Amino acid sequence: MPKDSLESTVGKLDELQDSYADAVKKDQEFKSLFKYKSVAAMLLKYAVPDFEKYSLQEIADSILDIRPRNPKSDAERLHSEIDLLNEESGDSGEKLIRMDKVFAMQFEVKLPDSEQIEYINVTVDFEMQGAKSQDYKLVTRGIYYASSMLRDTLKHADKYKNIHKVYSIWLCNFELLDESGQSGRYVHSYNVFRNYRENGQYVYEKDTDADLIEVIFIELKKLSEHMQDDLAQFLDTVFNDIGGLSKLMEGKIGVAIGGTILEKGVSEVIDMSKYGEIKEAQGERKKAVETAINLIKLGLLTIKQIAQSTGLSEEDVLEAKKTIKE
């Protein structure tokens, strides 16, 4: 290999490793922090228009508990850990999917001109996506996840009236859309609407009977361009200034995290960075990528076989392959 090509390959590998390192860090923080009610409440309030009218306390309190709880304080209640639902979806013969964090919520709504209370159920899924696939559009995958969740809202003997809305929120560590006119936006929403041809003048209108799915993608790479937004401020603190999360949450939700399980979670994330657990994971990832590159050069195994042998995803192996094409 010519020297220039070798240097180019090394440079691309370094760039790839930096990207992987950032993705590993964000994935660790995502797994450690988005399992708490108050953290989930902030993401929902700032990212999902349907939740804007609720306070952070109302959103956190609407996350359903599966196991019995007996919180001793408001702080312990609001900053407690979420009881997650089964993250797997798909029966025999269907594609099995594994979602990151799935949980149930229930809101109390007083009917107009009545003292009667109605209960509204929703299911929520949080996903962290570190790399952009070259084989499929993430929007398509997000719709499939949400559709699978929607199917799971009904048990075998349930009536169709018990179907309820699902939300799938994806935090993407890359630029999601390449189309012109989208570069300035960092939040992208997809819903089910009545066909626009029926509404005249091609105006999209929400149809309550069809409004059962909402998939939201957030591009983390663009947060710095939108720091005037509560959502960008919140996510930037989580992923880039974890030490400031306690102060931010106390100011927004009005209840300090001191002495709660969330404070312990924040400390663990800080310790992971301080004592090298994230760096160790990054180092293991780097070794796996280097092994994948060597196996690709040998040309003896398929992409799928290399992924299985290194523990990487097929998308990661394909990304590594790009660095040695020259």
Give the C-alpha separation, 173 to 319, whole Å: 15
- pLDDT of 70 above 80: yes
- pLDDT of 15 above 70: no
Question: How crowded is residue 309: how many other Cβ atoms within 10 Å of its Cβ?
Answer: 14
| pLDDT tens string 314-325 | 878 888 887 775
Average pLDDT score over residue span 118-137: 89
Question: According to the model, what pLDDT value does residue 201 have?
Answer: 60
- pLDDT of 105 above 80: yes
Give the C-alpha separation, 267 to 237, whole Å: 14
Question: According to the model, what pLDDT value does residue 1 have?
Answer: 46
Instruction: State the pLDDT confidence band at 10, using cuts at 50, 70 and 90.
Output: very low
**pTM, rounded to two decimals:** 0.77
Give the C-alpha separation, 122 to 150, whole Å: 10
Locate 178 and state its tokens.
């390449």
- pLDDT of 142 above 70: yes
Average pLDDT score over residue span 281-305: 81
Question: According to the model, what pLDDT value does residue 4 have?
Answer: 53
The domain locations on the chain are 1-26+276-326, 34-271
